[in-house]
Amino acid sequence: MRDLMMLGMMMIIVPIALSNAFAAYLVWGWTSVIAVPYYMWGFMGSLRYNLFFALVTLLLLVVGKSVDKSPFRLNRTSVLILLFVAHVTVSAVLADASARNNFSIYTDLLKSITYCLVMFFFVNSRLRLHAMLIAIALGLGFHGLAEGLKTLVTAGGHKIIGLPGTKMSDNNHFGVALVMALPILLYLYQYSKVRLVRLGFLGVLLATVLAVIGSRSRGAFLAMALLAFMLMLTSRRKGMASLFVMLGVALVLVLSPESWFQRIETIGSADQDASFMGRVEAWNVATALALQNPVFGTGFHAMQSGELWFGVRPSDGLLGGLLGSASLSTHARAAHSIYFEVLGDHGFVGLLLFLAIMGNAFVTALQIRRMTAYRSDLLWARDMSDALALSCFAFTVGGAGVSLAYFETYYVVVCLLEALRQYVLAQLRPASGRSLPGVRVASEPAGADKRLQAP
Amino acid sequence: MEAALFTLDVIFLVLLILAVRRADRKPAQARDLGVLSYLNAKTDDVQRGLRAQKGAPDA
């Protein structure tokens, strides 16, 4: 039945995508996070939706069949991403022979980066920025809604395992990805015009909070808690933000099962927890491999091969002292941290570029805040920038405990911040007849020169 | 339940891309996303003030 529904929908979606490049681009993005084959049982599950819509978008872009296309100009974000791609390309070529998934992860990353860079052709208006956020919400938010409702109806008994065959194939990865969607859902709740749609986004937001709890991921829970704290700090409406956070806390306290509390309580005694110490061991192996290959690392997920893992001693790494008398793993493991994942895979230079992309995202958000501080007509841009920055923040915090460094949505959010900055810059150009930050023009209402920030 | 939610999600995607295609056929000032459109003004003090002024461009 689902397959027939999907077939019917595709008969509507494909013609629209073939006639509009940005529509095809939105479907391309949606298919990359929704994991269509996971939800199909029959013949529609074997189709390569992502590849199809990517080819349609690129074809329409090349033949010039796209409305309001911007010329591609290099910007700070795209330069940093291209440098990172160049570095990981060399790293993939020079990868250790035992890195079995090296090229599959590399090509996946290339596809994600292609998607991100194509964004600068299309996303050049508020309408398109908003449409991009909706596409992300329809992708990630759907998982949050479905899993959150399952958690609710089973009173926390439902065990979330993630989406097999995707980058969210683990409960921890899945949890962090959902936390990243929360600020975007909150923005869409605040800024959607139709009341029913607004309430719909609020419902998805609350269900996603439940899904994060249901994932039983301590890292995702910590990321969500810190995200709530940051939301209260950055929000212009601190009272409303606090209300949301209290609602979230109430949800956690009322709906979480006893086993969940027992698991979360182990955060405080991490040094006695085998799962956490296993992570420290993995981080230590990553640093040892990076010290052996400081410039290009060992290639994508090479440390997961037994030859490399057992080829280093605990004392070879920078964190060997933290392991103490902990029993060492009998098999090779994932890095369990975006930072150590990149460090082991691409060396110190790779990590530096990865951190530069991350830092640049927050600098971009701060710049948007500063540029829109005196512009009441761009208040939405400041709120959107805050939402995207909070999404990045969730990734930087939650990612500290999971191997999710090549997660597409993160790079999409980083590029959306840059696209938003470009849009705001275009609005502030003196040639447009509008004012520069701090300069009041006659058409602006009295009091508009006041800095539009909460006290 | 999951099938119903998935269908709903795909329907919203169709609404989104239909709105995008329709918007691209309109002049820049008249573009919107239909039911998925964004608020021109938010309901905080600044925005309320802007909306209160008749004819003033709201945010």
Interface test with B, best of A3, A5, A196, A435 (most B CBs within 10 A): A5
Pick the most confident of A3-17, A73-87, A227-241: A73-87
Q: How far is Cα A282 from Cα A309, in angstroms, rounded to an integer?
A: 9
User: Tell me, what's the pLDDT at B44?
Assistant: 54
What residues does B38 pair with on adjacent strands?
A192
Tell me the nearest-neighbour CA distance from A215 into chain B, angstroms: 17
User: Tell me, what's the pLDDT at A321?
Assistant: 79
Q: How far is Cα A111 from Cα A132, in angstroms, rounded to an integer?
A: 18
Check residue A193 and report its DSSP letter: S
Tell me the nearest-neighbour CA distance from A211 into chain B, angstroms: 14
CA A36 to chain centre: 19
Q: Kindly report the average pLDDT of chain A as a whole number.
A: 86
Is A236 in CB contact (< 8 Å) with chain B? yes
* The two structure tokens encoding residue A255: 């709906």
Q: How confident is the model at residue A373 (pLDDT cuts 50, 70, 90)?
A: confident
Q: Is A34 in Cβ contact with B5 (below 8 Å)?
A: no
Is B4 in CB contact (< 8 Å) with chain A? no
Q: How far is Cα A82 from Cα A357, in angstroms, rounded to an integer?
A: 10
User: Tell me, what's the pLDDT at A219?
Assistant: 86
Q: Is B14 in Cβ contact with A2 (below 8 Å)?
A: no
User: Tell me, what's the pLDDT at A449?
Assistant: 46
Q: How confident is the model at residue A270 (pLDDT cuts 50, 70, 90)?
A: low
Measured CA to CA in angstroms, residue A226 lies from A121, A241, A382, A397 at distances of: 34, 13, 21, 8
What's the average model confidence in pLDDT over A18-23?
93
pLDDT (tens digit, 9 = 90+) per residue, A42-65? 888 788 888 999 999 999 998 877
Q: Is A236 in Cβ contact with B44 (below 8 Å)?
A: yes
Q: Is B3 in Cβ contact with A6 (below 8 Å)?
A: no
Res. A450: pLDDT tops 60: no
Nearest Cα residue to A438 out of A424, A453, A451 = A451
**For chain A, percent of residues with pLDDT exceeding 90:** 53
Tokens 């964190």 label which residue? A319
DSSP-based three-state secondary structure for A74: coil
pLDDT (tens digit, 9 = 90+) per residue, A156-211? 778 888 888 788 888 999 999 999 999 999 999 989 988 899 999 999 999 999 99
What residues does A192 pair with on adjacent strands?
B38
User: Tell me, what's the pLDDT at A267?
Assistant: 64
User: Tell me, what's the pLDDT at A437?
Assistant: 47
What's the average model confidence in pLDDT over B12-17?
95
Interface test with A, best of B1, B5, B12, B17 (most A CBs within 10 A): B17
Option in A23, A190, A197 nearest B17 (CB): A23
Option in B1, B17, B24 nearest A27 (CB): B17
Is B42 in CB contact (< 8 Å) with chain A? yes
User: Tell me, what's the pLDDT at A435?
Assistant: 47
Tell me the nearest-neighbour CA distance from B58 into chain A, angstroms: 6
Is B22 in CB contact (< 8 Å) with chain A? no
Res. B21: pLDDT tops 80: yes
Res. A431: pLDDT tops 90: no
User: Tell me, what's the pLDDT at B47?
Assistant: 52
DSSP-based three-state secondary structure for A211: helix
What's the average model confidence in pLDDT over A369-398?
92
What residues does B21 pair with on adjacent strands?
none
Q: Is B9 in Cβ contact with A127 (below 8 Å)?
A: no
Measured CA to CA in angstroms, residue A142 lies from A34, A58, A374, A389, A398 at distances of: 8, 26, 36, 21, 20
What's the average model confidence in pLDDT over A253-267?
70
**Maximum distance among all alpha carbons in chain A?**
72
Q: Which helix (H) or strand (E) holds A194?
A: none
Q: How far is Cα B35 from Cα B31, in angstroms, rounded to an integer?
A: 12
What's the average model confidence in pLDDT over A362-374?
93
User: Tell me, what's the pLDDT at B41?
Assistant: 58
Q: Which helix (H) or strand (E) holds A363?
A: helix A338-371
User: Tell me, what's the pLDDT at A188?
Assistant: 95
